[in-house]
Amino acid sequence: MKIILKLLLLLAFLSYLIFAFARLVGGRDETKCTAVNVVIADSVHSGFITQEEVVRLLDATGLNPVGKEMEDINGDTIEQTLLKNTFIKLAKCYKTPGGRVNIHVAQRLPIIRVMAANGDDYYVDSNGYFMKPKEYNADLVVATGDISRQYARDKLLDLARYLHDHEFANDLITQVNVDTQKRVDLVPRIGCQTIHLGQLDSATVVSQLANLHAFYSKVLPTVGWNTYREISLEYTNQIVCKKY
């Protein structure tokens, strides 16, 4: 990501120099913008920010440059407006000769959605940055219950990263619930009704979920997926189950 951002900055700077030189030589540029070119730096990943979404944001704020004289198009204003969207990490806008405006965007990718008991509703990325949900929806694990923003950063983030980065865990878990004592339960798509993690500890959560993976891979296919109604991972190197 750092390399991508540096390349974007370099490209924007070089294009600006070319455009600035053209202005100095030719005076006011009355050429009208004929096209806006939007590039999403990490479009290979699923995300909310698409080329169409950037154009929609420009239309909604009256900043779509198409049809305007190049001299009147303010790239800084376009950048600052786009950055008001919390899903956009970086926006660079620059003009090139021929009536084209280029916009390069790097987006934030959420890894979990929090819908807390206190009414808070937001997405969180892998760096702990909070994003307003607006009208965006994604097929992500949802965390519910007694979750403050501080708890989301300090405790929940490690769990969210693991669930997002490991295909098995990401496919298995649909919900994380935190009770008033900060005990955490996971709700799986298949198998038992509830998986108890206890209070989250960054030092043990990885081993807990690794044990869960082993249990689902080796034990449940043998004894049956619906044999247990609860699984507890609260105890070190132990898995305690309750049958239906």
Residue 46 has pLDDT above 70, yes or no: no
Mean pLDDT over 43-63 rounds to 87
Cα–Cα dist 152/42, whole Å: 25
Mean pLDDT over 22-39 rounds to 74
pLDDT band at 133 (very low <50, low <70, confident <90, very high): confident
| DSSP symbols for 35-54 | EEEEEETTTTS--S--HHHH
Cα–Cα dist 206/27, whole Å: 62
Hey, what are 94's tokens? 């620059």
pLDDT band at 13 (very low <50, low <70, confident <90, very high): low
pLDDT at 24: 43
Residue 16 has pLDDT above 70, yes or no: no
Rounded to the nearest 5°, which phi and psi values hold at 33?
-70, 125
Mean pLDDT over 189-213 rounds to 90
Cα–Cα dist 66/76, whole Å: 16
Residue 143 has pLDDT above 60, yes or no: yes
Residue 15 has pLDDT above 80, yes or no: no
What does the longest C-alpha to C-alpha distance in the chain come to? 81
